[in-house]
Structure 1
C-alpha cells in the first residue's frame, strides 16, 4: 500500500487575492548626497505644495482621496494623521498644520500594497486559542500563511477554520480588509532587538497582517512554523521563521498567546544562521529542542537552555531515498503521538522536485529514528506542478485531530491546499 492510496486530498484551495491591500509608508527617493543645507528635500516640496492650497481646496482634495480609498481600509483619517506624525522630523520648520492639512500630507506619504498579489503559500496550522464555537467533534484552528506581493516581499497572514471528526477542513470567510499592527515596543537584546506588535481586538484574524518591521526582515518574513508550546501548564504559540534582509538570512522567533500581541526576537548561535528551524511542542529533559538544517543538506537535533541560543547539534537524518537525494528539511514542528514524535520532512529530488515525507522519532530520545517513509506522502500531482516555482509541494506544519493528521500544503509556491491522512495508516506505511 502506497501513501497515495490512503491520503485524502480535499477540494479546498486558498489562492492569492490581489484585491487585498494595506497602506504602507511611501518614502520619496533618496536625496543627492551633495544636497546643500538650505535646499529642500522632496518631502518638503510635497509639504509646500499641500500648504499652498487654499483651505477649501485642501478640504476638497481630502474628500476626493477618501472617496477613492475609503471602504478599502479601516480608519483612514487616523492612519493619515499617524503617518504625518511619523514624518514630522523630515519636514522643515513650518507653521502648525491644520488638521485637514495634517491628514492630507499624511496621505501623500502612503501607498497601497497588494500583499498577496503573487502567492499565498507555505502554511502551518495550530489549535485556536479560543476553541469555543466549534461543532461537536470538531476543532478550531488558526492557519498561518506566507503572502508575497510586489517586489517579492513576504509577510505573514492568517486564516481560521475548523476540522470535523472525519478530518475535513472548513475555512472561515475571509474579511476583505487588512491591517498591519502598531509597533508598541522595541527593546535591545544581544545581537538585535525584540519588537512587540499589537493588533486592535476588533480585527478578524484574517485582517491581521505582519509586515517586515526590522532591517533583518526588510525583504521578507518567510515560512513561519507555528507550534503550541506547553510548559508547566502555560500555553504559548511560538513560530520560527526566516528573516530575509535582501542580502542575508537568519532565523527568528515569534511569540504570542492570543494572535493579537506578538513579540519578535532574533535567534542566536551557529544553528540559527540557516533557515527551516522547528521547535518541539514541549521541553525534553528540561531543555528546549529544535529540528534544524544548518548545513543545507541534512537534519539535526539541537537543544537550548534559554530558547534563543542554538549551537551545535546531533546529526539526525541524511538524504537516503531518490526523492530526497539533493537535500532534506523539516516541514514543521514534531507532533507528539503515543508511538513517538512524528516529524514531517521535505525532500528535493531530480529536476528540483519537492515532496513531503515523514519520520517517527523516539519519544524519550528524539535522536533515535524509529521509522521513516521510503516514499513521499505527497508529491506534486499533474494539476499541482505549475506555478511560480514548478514541481513543489511544501508545508510548514500539520496538526493532529483525533485519529487524523490534517496537512495543509503549498502548491508550486503559489497557493495552498489541504489533505488528511489517518495516523494509523501512516505509521503502518513507514518502514525502519
Structure 2
C-alpha cells in the first residue's frame, strides 16, 4: 500500500511551547479541610510572615509581583483572591485580612506551570460548534490536544482552525496566554466524582486548559477521543479519555456543547479499566456503542444502555494479524460514518515498538461485521518523524470526514502534531476485503 497514492502530509506542525504557562496551586494541594496538621502549620507560617509586613511594604511587594508577571496571565489579581478563598479555612486563626494581604497570601500559594513544555500530541478533531466565518465549501474545526509538562502531567487543551473546500488545513494563531478551567461543581459517587468545569468567554479557545481536578486524574488527563455525537436532534461533543493517578488508570467521559463548559464523569464496569475506548457518533440499534481494547491486544465491540456503564465481553472484532501490528492493535479515534460503512482507524505496534496507523471498514448496520481491512499501514513514521520523546510513533485520537477526504491530525513521536489528508476512495480501494480470508 503506497502512502503517496492517497496520503498527503501538509507539514502543518503544532509544537510544544514552554513559554505558555498557567498558574496553579502551589503548596497544599488538598482541600483545606483535608490538610494534614503539618501542612496547616507550614501554611500558617507563610501567612504570619506576610502579615508581619507593614502596609506600605505589603502594597509595594504586591505591585512588584504584578509588574513581574504583567502580560503573562489574565485576571491575575482574581486568581490570587480565589486561591486565598480556597485556603481560608486553614487560616481561620488569623482573623480578618486586608485586601492587599489576601492577594499577597494567594500569590504565595500559586506557581507558574509550563503545561506543554515537554510535548503537545495525540490530537482529535471535530467540527466547531460555531461555523460563522467558515470558508465557502469548508468548515471550522476544534482540535483537542494532549499537553505534557513538568512531572509528566498531562492536561487537555485546544486549538481552532479551518478546512478549505479542497481539504487544505489552517490552524488559527495560538494565544500567548492560557488559563486552567474553573471548577464549578463536584458530585461524589461511589465510583468516583462527577465534576463540572468552565472557562470565561474572554479570550481564545487556545487559552483553555483542562487540568486534572480529581484524585483519579491527578497525574494526567490523557488521549481524549472527541466525537460529535448526535442524539435527540442535537449535537453533543463527547470524548473518552484515560484518567491516570500515578499508579493506575481508568476510562472517563467528558462532554460539552460549546467548549466553554465541560462535565467529566468516570465510566463504570469492567471494560472501563482499560485504555483506548472510542465512542460511535450515534446510537447503534438504540444503544450506545464503543470500540474497546479489553485484553491489551485485541479490539472488541461493546454496548451500553446508559452511556456510563461498560462491561467487558461484547463481540471480538479484530486481533493482530499482520507483522506491523503483532504486539497489539488499538483505536485511533471514533469510527467515521461513510456511505460504505464505518471507517475505523487503528494503530498497530510492530518490531522495536514501532507504531503505525491502518484502517478497517465495518458494516454500517451491524458493526460487528468486518468488511475490509488494510494489510499494510497507510501512515508510518517518516525518517523526519522518528525522533522525539517516544521514538518511532505516529498516532491519532480522531480524524474527521470532509467531502471526499479524511482530515487526519496525528502525533509524531509523542512530541508534536502534524496534519495529513487521505482520499477516501483510494483508501477503501487499497483495503483488502474481509471475504479474501482476512479473519478477525
Q: Output the TM-score relative to the length of structure 1.
A: 0.97
Taking the TM superposition and a 5 Å limit, the aligned residue runs for 1:21-420 are 21-27=21-27, 41-311=41-311, 312-420=313-421
Q: Tell me how far apart the structure 2 counterparts of residues 40 and 402 of structure 1 sit (CA, whole Å).
A: 59
Q: Tell me how far apart the structure 2 counterparts of residues 256 and 93 of structure 1 sit (CA, whole Å).
A: 41
Q: Cα deviations across residues 239-258 of structure 1 (Å, max 9, x unaligned)?
A: 00000000010000001000
In structure 2, relative to structure 1, the CA distance for the partners of 1:194 and 1:39 (3 Å cut) is closer
Q: Tell me how far apart the structure 2 counterparts of residues 62 and 326 of structure 1 sit (CA, whole Å).
A: 56
What is the CA-CA distance between 1:94 and the residue it aligns to? 1.2
Q: Tell me how far apart the structure 1 counterparts of residues 322 and 397 of structure 2 sit (CA, whole Å).
A: 21
What is the CA-CA distance between 1:222 and the residue it aligns to? 0.1
Q: Tell me how far apart the structure 1 counterparts of residues 37 and 275 of structure 2 sit (CA, whole Å).
A: 45
Matched residue SS, 2:180: coil
Q: Cα deviations across residues 107-156 of structure 1 (Å, max 9, x unaligned)?
A: 00000000000000000000000011011011110000000000000000
Q: Tell me how far apart the structure 1 counterparts of residues 172 and 85 of structure 2 sit (CA, whole Å).
A: 36
Q: Tell me how far apart the structure 1 counterparts of residues 230 and 36 of structure 2 sit (CA, whole Å).
A: 58
In structure 2, relative to structure 1, the CA distance for the partners of 1:5 and 1:104 (3 Å cut) is same
Q: Which residue of 1 aligns with 2:438?
A: none
Q: Tell me how far apart the structure 1 counterparts of residues 225 and 38 of structure 2 sit (CA, whole Å).
A: 51
What is the CA-CA distance between 1:316 and the residue it aligns to? 0.2
| CA contact 1:125–1:399 (8 Å) conserved in 2 | yes
- Structure 1 runs (4+) greater than 6 angstroms displaced: 35-40
Q: Tell me how far apart the structure 1 counterparts of residues 395 and 220 of structure 2 sit (CA, whole Å).
A: 18
| CA contact 2:40–2:90 (8 Å) conserved in 1 | no
> How many residues in Structure 1 have an aligned counterpart in Structure 2?
428
What is the CA-CA distance between 1:38 and the residue it aligns to? 11
Report the more deviating stretch, 90-99 or 219-228: 90-99
User: Any stretches of 5+ residues in structure 1 without a counterpart?
Assistant: none
In structure 2, relative to structure 1, the CA distance for the partners of 1:91 and 1:381 (3 Å cut) is same
Q: Cα deviations across residues 376-395 of structure 1 (Å, max 9, x unaligned)?
A: 11000000000000000000
| CA contact 2:5–2:426 (8 Å) conserved in 1 | no
| CA contact 2:28–2:39 (8 Å) conserved in 1 | no
What is the CA-CA distance between 1:184 and the residue it aligns to? 0.8
In structure 2, relative to structure 1, the CA distance for the partners of 1:322 and 1:38 (3 Å cut) is closer
What is the CA-CA distance between 1:186 and the residue it aligns to? 1.0
Q: Tell me how far apart the structure 2 counterparts of residues 199 and 61 of structure 1 sit (CA, whole Å).
A: 29
In structure 2, relative to structure 1, the CA distance for the partners of 1:263 and 1:39 (3 Å cut) is closer
| CA contact 1:387–1:414 (8 Å) conserved in 2 | yes
| CA contact 2:135–2:165 (8 Å) conserved in 1 | no
| CA contact 1:3–1:375 (8 Å) conserved in 2 | no
Q: Cα deviations across residues 12-37 of structure 1 (Å, max 9, x unaligned)?
A: 1000000000000001599xxxx998
C-alpha RMSD over aligned residues: 1.6
In structure 2, relative to structure 1, the CA distance for the partners of 1:117 and 1:300 (3 Å cut) is same
Q: Output the TM-score relative to the length of structure 2.
A: 0.95
What is the CA-CA distance between 1:190 and the residue it aligns to? 4.1
| CA contact 1:271–1:310 (8 Å) conserved in 2 | yes
What is the CA-CA distance between 1:189 and the residue it aligns to? 3.2
Q: Tell me how far apart the structure 2 counterparts of residues 40 and 317 of structure 1 sit (CA, whole Å).
A: 53
In structure 2, relative to structure 1, the CA distance for the partners of 1:321 and 1:213 (3 Å cut) is same
Q: Tell me how far apart the structure 1 counterparts of residues 39 and 139 of structure 2 sit (CA, whole Å).
A: 62
Matched residue SS, 2:60: helix
Q: Tell me how far apart the structure 2 counterparts of residues 194 and 70 of structure 1 sit (CA, whole Å).
A: 35
Q: Tell me how far apart the structure 2 counterparts of residues 315 and 156 of structure 1 sit (CA, whole Å).
A: 31
Report the more deviating stretch, 249-258 or 4-13: 4-13
Q: Tell me how far apart the structure 2 counterparts of residues 92 and 78 of structure 1 sit (CA, whole Å).
A: 21
| CA contact 1:4–1:378 (8 Å) conserved in 2 | no
Q: Cα deviations across residues 48-95 of structure 1 (Å, max 9, x unaligned)?
A: 110110100000000000011121001011110110110111225013
Q: Tell me how far apart the structure 1 counterparts of residues 262 and 39 of structure 2 sit (CA, whole Å).
A: 42
